[in-house]
Structure 1
Amino acid sequence: MKIEISSEKHLHYAEEIKQEMADSAKVRGTGIAQRTVEFLCQKMLEGSAVLAIEEDGRWAGFCYLSAWSDGEFVANSGMIVSPNFRKRGVAKMMKAKVFELSRIKFPEAKIFSLTTGLAVMKINSDLGYQPVTYSEITKDETFWEGCKSCVNYDVLKSKNRENCLCTAMLYSPSKEKTLFNSNYTKNTKDEEKCSVGI
């Protein structure tokens, strides 16, 4: 399996990825913000996404990055793993790649993630993220607009965006630790009972 930075050649996967995001949200009954095919294609064309591709050409996973607050923050979002490839370390490999891509494109930015998944939290923790309050991540209104498609948006709104069911996690370059420590790179099979980290 290859973990690839997105390009035009990946556009034909967008519809299937969008559908899997919707299906996973229904199965899990938890918050997964929905994205349009046009949005996913835009991320692919920008080279702002990573995909896991099986040798036979099937997509196995997808994740993208977005910059917020004039590049002060970067979010690694939309992680989805195809059901046929779960529990094989795909999420961990993609998360490492999108994290690396974020550091290359925005070396001074703080990188954050919102997720309901314990497996994604562990992956984030291994990469150097720390749990934080929502006050420590972007205030960019456009980012929060993206939460409107999530089933838990009313919870977020009722709490004045101070918290929700997702845990906020933040990586700060000023508190940088070893990018890929030996413990992280050796463990590739203990991660995913869930498929999506927002």
Structure 2
Amino acid sequence: MDSSARSDEVVVRDETIIPGNITSEDIIIRPATAADIPYAAEIAAEMESSAKARGTGIARRTPGSIAEKIRQGKAVIALTVSGRWAGFSYLDTWEQDKFISNSGLIVSPAFRARGIAAIIKQKIFQLSRALYPMARIFSITTGRAVMKLNTRLGFEPVTYADITHDPAFWEGCKSCVNYPILCAKGKQNCLCTALLFEPS
């Protein structure tokens, strides 16, 4: 069993299972596969509606872009044993794999407060390290909960100068409500906090 697992979690190979109870099903958290592509539209819709509900900025993801991450083996998904989508995250690479961003962490409202986000975050981090062990892993977020999860994994707050300078990364911010702020500040800072993990 993974030493970081909760006492009620079951870890089998790449899967973590959160046991259900009388009113809830077991939830399986694992690397996404091509069979999970049909969930892409639901994931994209929840990302957008969740951001609107919180009143925070988020770069919009299309179902096609989420499906592509799944197809590339660069995503983690949480599903109930009956096949309901519960959570998701993915990774992107920048500057010839020098940097990795862990992005798009979302948990379906019906499954929140069960520790799913923390496990997804840990698994996308582990997947990033396994695929690109020498890459620097970063995240930008306005969410306090995500900042706390990143800190537990060894991320530290940094300036935007310390993360990727790839224009394609910042293109992804264009759909964010805070994009005018980012541009006004010359892409040197915004409302998001940048966090970075340096490989040892």
TM range (shorter): 0.7 to 0.9
Q: Is structure 2 residue 199 aligned with structure 1 residue 173?
A: yes
Are residue 18 (structure 1) and residue 35 (structure 2) matched?
Answer: no
Higher relative contact order (CA closer than 8 Å, sequence separation 6+): 1
Q: Which residue of 2 aligns with 1:152?
A: 178
- Runs of 4 or more, structure 1, over 3 Å off, are none
In the alignment, residue 76 of structure 1 is paired with which amino acid? N
- Larger helix percent: 1
Superposed CA RMSD in Å reads: 0.7
1:129-158 per-residue CA deviation (whole Å, 9 max, x = no partner) reads 000000000000000000001111011111
Q: Where does residue 146 of structure 2 map in the other structure?
A: 120
How many angstroms apart in 2 are the aligned matches of 1:107 and 1:155?
Answer: 33
In structure 1, the residue matched to 2:115 is: 89
* Alpha-carbon distance, 1:160 to partner: 0.6
Paired position in structure 2 for 1:41? 67
Q: Determine the structure 2 residue equivalent to 1:100.
A: 126
The Cα of 1:8 is off from its aligned counterpart by: 1.0
Which residue does 1:31 correspond to in 2?
57
Q: Shift of the alpha carbon at 1:26?
A: 1.3
Distance 1:61 1:18 in 2: 11
TM-score (norm 1): 0.86
Rounded Cα–Cα distance in structure 2 between residues aligned with 1:120 and 1:25: 14
Of 78, 84, 92, which aligns to 1:58? 84
Larger radius of gyration between Structure 1 and Structure 2? 2
CA distance in 1, matches of 2:74, 2:106: 15
- 2:152 is paired with a residue of what secondary structure? helix
Distance in 2 separating the partners of 1:45 and 1:93: 21
Q: Is 1:5 aligned to 2:31, yes or no?
A: yes
Offset at residue 21 of structure 1 (A): 1.0
- Structure 1 Cα separation of the partners of residues 169 and 177 of structure 2: 16
SS of the equivalent of 2:173 reads helix
Question: Partners in 2 of 1:77 and 1:104 — Cα distance?
Answer: 17
Gaps spanning 5+ residues in structure 2: where? 1-26
Counterpart residue number, 1:73: 99
Structure 1 residue 111: Cα displacement: 0.2
CA distance in 2, matches of 1:115, 1:85: 21
Counterpart secondary structure, 1:79? strand
Q: For residues 22 and 103 of structure 1, what CA distance do their matches in structure 2 show?
A: 28
- DSSP 3-state at the match of 2:172: helix
Q: Which amino acid aligns with 1:100?
A: Q
Residue of structure 1 in register with 2:19 after alignment? none
Shift of 1:77: 0.3
Q: Kindly state the Cα deviation for residue 57 of structure 1 after the two structures are TM-superposed.
A: 1.0
Query: How many residue pairs were aligned?
Result: 174
